[in-house]
Structure 1
Amino acid sequence: MAGTGNAASVQAVRAQAFVIPTDAPEADGTMHWTSTTLIVVEVDGGGQTGLGYTYTDASAVPLIRGMLAEAVGGQDALDVPALWREMQRRVRNIGRQGLAATAISAVDAALWDLKAKLLGLPLALLLGRARESVPVYGSGGFTTYSDTQLRDQLAGWVERDGCRWVKMKISTHPGQDPHRVAVARKAVGDRGLFVDSNGALNTKQALATAGWLARDFGVMWYEEPVSSDDLEGLQLLRQHAPATLEIAAGEYGYEIDYFRRMLNAGAVDVQQADASRCGGITGFLRAAVLCDAHHVDISGHCAPTLHLHAACAAPRFRHLEWFHDHVRIEQMLFDGAPVAREGMIRPDLSRPGLGIAFRRQDAERYAA
C-alpha cells in the first residue's frame, strides 16, 4: 500500500502502558486481579493527534511502536479501513488473535479519532448515528466483595446513575451464590439483574444454576455460563434454560470469524463484542453488521468511553457495559469521559473525534 505523501498522512505512532491498581481486590469465576493495564496510543497526522486505547498486557507496546507503526506510517490518515486491513496483514504470521488484536484495536481507535478531528466532526456523526444516546448497565459485583460492598455498589448504579440493569460475578464459590444473588436482588429492587460466570461451570452445573437464577431471583441475563469456546454448551443452555433468561457471550472475540461461528451456532441470545479487543471501531462495527444480518442484538463489553460513538452508530445495539474498573480509570485519566445520567450516556457533539483528552500528568504515576 503506497503512501500518499499528502498533509493528512500518518506521521507518528506512540504507545505507552499504565498499570492502575484496583480500588479493592477483585475476582470472578475464573480469575482474580489487583490492577488493570491501560495501553494509550497517539497517532499524529495533518496537524492533529488521534487518541485510542485498549486494556491488555504491556507487551502490546513494542508491537504497536514497531510492526503496527510501520504498517500505517506515511499512509493517508483518512483511509482508516485500508490501514486496518494493512495492520491485519502485517500480523498474519504472529497470529491475529489475542495481543495483536488488542494492539490493532487501540491503533484503529486512534486513527478514527484522528480522521474525525481532521474533518472537524464528532466520531458519532462521521459514522452516522442510529441513536443519540446509549443505555448502560452497571457491572462489577466481584466475588471478593462483602455483602455490604456488593449491596452498595449495585444500589449506587441504580440510585445514582439510573441504570435499568446491573450485573454481578458468580461461580467462584458456587455454594455461596444463592445468598449473594439474594443480596443483589434486594439491593436493586425490580431493576434487571444480570450474572456472569466467566465460563467457570460445566454444562450441567450451568443448567442447574440457570434454573434457580430465573425461578428464585428473576435473573434475566446469564453471561458465559460455560466457556465461550464451548459453542455446543452455550447452544444447549440457550435451548433449555428458562425462556426469561438470555444467554450472552462474545467478549473474547478477536476477529469476525469468531462472531460468525458463534452466531451460526445459535449459541447466544445477545452477542457481546469488545472494541478494545476485536479490532477497534472498525472491528466492532463489522461485528454489529453481522449481528444485524442474524437478527441478534449486540452489546458492548466494557471500555465505555471507547465504545460510545460506535455504539451510537451500530445497528441492533442493546446496551453497553458500565464496568466498574474501566469507568473509574476513564473518569480519572480522560477529560470528556461520559457520565451516566438516567441510565444513559451520550457523546459530546461539541468535541471532535472521540471527544476525549488524555490527562498524561495524572497518569504518569501509573506508567509501566
Structure 2
Amino acid sequence: MTKIKGYQLFSAKAQLEKPISDATHRLTEISFIVLRIQTESGIVGESYLLSFQYSPKAIVGALQDVAQLVVGEDVFNTVKVFEKINQANEYFGLEGVNRWAQAAYNMAMWDAWCKKLGQPIWKVLGTSRTEVPIYGSGGWLSYTIDELIDEVTDYKNRGFKAVKIKVGSANWRQDLERLRLVREAVGNEIDIMMDANQGMDVASALSLAKATQKLQITWFEEPINHTDFQGFQLLRNQAGISLAMGEREYSSLPLRELLVRNAIDIWQPDILRLGGVESWRDSAALAGSFNVPVLPHYYKDYDIPLLCTIPNGAGAESFDWIDPLIDNPLVIENGMARPHDRPGWGFSFKDECLTEID
C-alpha cells in the first residue's frame, strides 16, 4: 500500500524582526511552503521549500499542477516520477518553479518510502560517515556592525568553527572593513567565508579577494553572476582564493562548464533547484570526479543526511530559521552536525506552526 492517494500544502513563517538584505535581495519575511503526501496505508511524506516573499501563488500553482502527475504512483518510483514530470514540464520549461515543485514531491516521496522501510534516508542510501562539519551563516549587509559582531560571536560561543558573512557593498572597501572586524571578533581559530550573492563585477571581486588575503578568508561564494564562466575562470586564476558556487543552478550543466575550465573549488548544490535527491547526488558525483568537494546551499536538514552518503562532502550551511518550527531539530555540537535518527528525513513541521493552503 505505497501508492500516493493525496496531498496537502501548508505555509509557515519564521520570526524576522526586520528586513534583511544581501547584495542582490531584500527579504521581508522568512517563509516556507510545506508539502505533505499521503499513501493508501496512511504514511505521510513531507518536504519543504524556502520561499521568502517571492511568487507564492506561482509556487503553489506549480505544486498543485505536479500533484496530478504524482497521485496514484508508488512512493518508491522516484526516478520514474521525476522523468514523468520532466516530460510534462518541458513545454513551459524545466527550471524555475516547475523544478522546485518537482523536487518537493521527490523529497516527500523519499520521506514516505524510508518511513515505510523504518529507516533514515542516509542508512537506506549507504553511509560514509555519521557527522558533518557545519558553519554558521548570515552576516547580512543590512546589519549594523554591532549586529554583525553579535551574530558571529554567538556562532563562536555555540561551538561553530566557521562563519560566513555577506559582501557586495557599493564599495568593496566597506566589505573589507566588515571582514576585518569579524576576524578581530572571532580570532584566528575560526574560519571566515564571504558571499557576494552574484552582486559584484569581476574587477571589484578581484580587488576584494586580493585585499582579504591577510585576513585568511577560506572561500569566496558567488562573487559574480553565476553564468559568467569566463569570469569565474579569471578569478580562480588571479584572485588567490577558493571559489564556491552552485546554489542558483537547476542542473549540473553549469558545474560541468566550470569544471572543464578549472574555475571552481567548491560545489554548492541547492536540492530544491536541482530537482531532489537523485539530482543532488548526481551533481555530487560529477564534482567528485574532478576532486571538487560538496558544500550545499541552505537546506541543512536535508543536506546533512545526504552528505553522510557521499565521499566528497565537505560541510553544510546552518541557519536557525526552521528549528523552532520542527519537532526534531538537528544536533549540532562543536561545529559538527549529526543526521536525524528517525525514519525518512527524520523531522516534521509542527502542526501548530502550519497554515493550510487551499
- Give the TM-score normalised by structure 2: 0.93
CA distance in 2, matches of 1:261, 1:11: 41
- Identical aligned pairs, as a percentage? 28
Q: Secondary structure at the match of 1:317?
A: coil
Residue 257 in structure 1 maps to residue 253 in structure 2: yes
Task: State the match for 1:48 in structure 2.
Answer: 43
Q: 1:27 aligns with which of 21, 32, 37?
A: 21
What amino acid does structure 1 have at the position aligned with 2:5?
Answer: Q
CA distances 1:31-85 after superposition (whole Å, capped 9, x unpaired): 211212311111111320101111134221121122x112221112112121222
Task: State the match for 2:140 in structure 1.
Answer: 142
Task: State the match for 2:291 in structure 1.
Answer: 295
Check conservation: 1:53, 1:105, Cα contact below 8 A: no
Task: State the match for 2:316 in structure 1.
Answer: 320
CA 1:26–1:135: 2 relative to 1, 3 Å: same
CA distance in 1, matches of 2:256, 2:279: 13
Q: 2:71 aligns with which of 70, 73, 81?
A: 73
Q: Secondary structure at the match of 2:109?
A: helix
* Structure 2 segments unaligned to the other structure (5+ residues): none
Task: State the match for 1:10 in structure 2.
Answer: 4
Structure 1 residue 187: deviation in Å? 1.7
Task: State the match for 1:266 in structure 2.
Answer: 262
Check conservation: 2:340, 2:347, Cα contact below 8 A: no
Residue 354 in structure 1 maps to residue 345 in structure 2: yes
Of 259-268 and 202-211, the range deviating more from structure 2: 259-268
CA distance in 1, matches of 2:60, 2:12: 11
Structure 1 residue 196: deviation in Å? 0.7
What amino acid does structure 2 have at the position aligned with 1:340?
Answer: I
Check conservation: 1:15, 1:40, Cα contact below 8 A: yes
Structure 1 residue 108: deviation in Å? 1.1
CA distance in 2, matches of 1:156, 1:307: 23
Check conservation: 1:19, 1:367, Cα contact below 8 A: no
Task: State the match for 1:165 in structure 2.
Answer: 162
What amino acid does structure 2 have at the position aligned with 1:41?
Answer: L
CA distance in 2, matches of 1:362, 1:16: 9
CA distance in 2, matches of 1:337, 1:276: 20
CA distance in 2, matches of 1:257, 1:180: 35
CA distance in 2, matches of 1:15, 1:282: 23
Q: Secondary structure at the match of 1:54?
A: strand
Check conservation: 1:14, 1:65, Cα contact below 8 A: no
Task: State the match for 1:332 in structure 2.
Answer: 324
Q: Secondary structure at the match of 1:23?
A: coil
Task: State the match for 1:4 in structure 2.
Answer: none
Check conservation: 1:214, 1:220, Cα contact below 8 A: no
What amino acid does structure 2 have at the position aligned with 1:248?
Answer: A
Check conservation: 1:288, 1:315, Cα contact below 8 A: no
Alignment: residue pair count: 351
What amino acid does structure 1 have at the position aligned with 2:26?
Answer: H
CA distance in 1, matches of 2:258, 2:15: 34
Task: State the match for 1:197 in structure 2.
Answer: 196
Regions of 4+ moved over 3 Å: 17-21
* Structure 1 segments unaligned to the other structure (5+ residues): 1-6
Q: 2:84 aligns with which of 83, 86, 107?
A: 86
What amino acid does structure 1 have at the position aligned with 2:243?
Answer: I
Structure 1 residue 306: deviation in Å? 2.3
Residue 233 in structure 1 maps to residue 228 in structure 2: no
Structure 1 residue 168: deviation in Å? 0.2
Q: 2:333 aligns with which of 333, 338, 341?
A: 341
1:118-129 equivalence runs, <5 A: 118-129=116-127
Residue 61 in structure 1 maps to residue 57 in structure 2: no
Check conservation: 1:53, 1:107, Cα contact below 8 A: no
CA 1:15–1:263: 2 relative to 1, 3 Å: farther
CA distance in 2, matches of 1:173, 1:187: 24
What amino acid does structure 1 have at the position aligned with 2:286?
Answer: L
Of 104-113 and 11-20, the range deviating more from structure 2: 11-20
CA distances 1:107-147 after superposition (whole Å, capped 9, x unpaired): 11111101100111111101111110111111100011111
What amino acid does structure 2 have at the position aligned with 1:266?
Answer: N
Q: Secondary structure at the match of 2:333?
A: coil
Q: Secondary structure at the match of 2:268?
A: strand
